[in-house]
Amino acid sequence: SKLVTASADGTSRLFDAVKGDCQYTLTGHDGEISKVTFNPQGTRIMTAGCDKTVRLWDTETGECAQLLEGHTDEIFSCAFNYEGDT
């Protein structure tokens, strides 16, 4: 079981929900992260925030797998499709 948080410090943290241990600190956003979500399979995390970017993270490595840019203002919502592949 995993748990993910978002913060005004620009980081997101991935925790083991049973042990309470922080597995990874996800860094890369420039400013507050306002949204965070897991894909249905639990293999990816999507974060979005005031830096106008979306980042996709690998839950096994904690690495940023993809950076999505193009918005002109803060991102307030993000979601995976039901299959979790896009």
Give pLDDT tens digits for 32-55.
999 999 999 999 999 999 999 999
Calculated CA dihedral for residues 31, 73, 56, 17, nearest 10 degrees:
50
Confidence at residue 22, expressed as pLDDT on a 0 to 100 scale: 98
Confidence at residue 84, expressed as pLDDT on a 0 to 100 scale: 67
Of 79, 72, 27, 34, nearest to 52 by C-alpha is 72
Q: How confident is the model at residue 70 (pLDDT cuts 50, 70, 90)?
A: very high
pTM here is 0.92
How far apart CA 86 and CA 82 sit, in angstroms, is 9
